[in-house]
Amino acid sequence: MAKSKSSEIPHYELLYLISNKYSEDEVKPIKTRIEKLITDNAGKITKQEDWGKKRLAYKIEQFNYGYYQLLEFDMPGEGVEKVTTALRLSSDILRSQVIKKRIQTADEIKTDKEIAQKIAKRKKEEEEVRVADAASNKAEIEDINLDEKLDKILETDNLL
């Protein structure tokens, strides 16, 4: 028996990089153009994140910085090819990547948040321990310096 196709619309994630030759105000129309491109091809944007201007790992077209944008959207498969082609042809976009993403359930999202909170708590505790260790090391160094100064004073013949 053949498997039947799922009637669900696939979920995608788009990460794209806008050249830093534009100011923050000039980036906004580019972002809206990309969003319109998705919605015009029967897509529905579900999540949008602006990661801001960041340094690139290597130069791309002589640029060291770029504006990172993340979009998650639902779209039929035939529309994705049109979007990726338009992104490749755009001179404003340095790089882009579209991947098919599995939609997380509410339980998975809750579990991910709990894990993130535990990691943050552990990092905070480690930082507190590191700060306490640094303070105790500083106190030990000050005690050693104080002992050395007292020894010098006691070794001198002329105390007055």
The model's pLDDT over 52-94, given as tens digits with 9 standing for 90+, comes to: 999 999 998 889 999 999 999 998 888 899 999 999 999 889 9
Whole-model pTM over 0.75? no
Q: Could you tell me if 79 and 31 lie in one domain?
A: yes
Residues 71, 108 within the same domain: no
Task: Please indicate, yes or no, whether residues 131 and 146 belong to a single structural domain of this protein.
Answer: yes
Q: What is the CATH number of the domain that holds 74?
A: 3.30.70.60
For residues 92 and 46, membership in a common domain is answered with yes
Q: How confident is the model at residue 140 (pLDDT cuts 50, 70, 90)?
A: low
**pLDDT tens per residue, range 2-48:** 454 556 788 999 999 998 898 889 999 999 999 999 999 988 999 99
Of 103, 100, 96, 75, which is closest to residue 15 (Cα–Cα)?
Answer: 96
C-alpha–C-alpha distance, residues 61 and 81, integer Å: 24
- Cβ-based neighbour number of residue 152 at 10 Å: 9
State the pLDDT at residue 30. 93
> Final residue of a domain: which of 85, 103, 121?
103
Buried b (16+ CB within 10 A) or exposed e, 87-117: beebebbbebebeeeeeeeeeeeeeeeeeee
Answer yes or no: is 3 within a domain. Answer: no
Compute the half-sphere exposure of residue 96: CA atoms within 13 Å on the CB side of its CA: 24
Same domain, 42 and 67: yes
pLDDT at position 145 is 72
Total structural domains in the chain?
2
Domain that holds residue 131: 104-160
CB atoms within 10 A of CB 45: 15
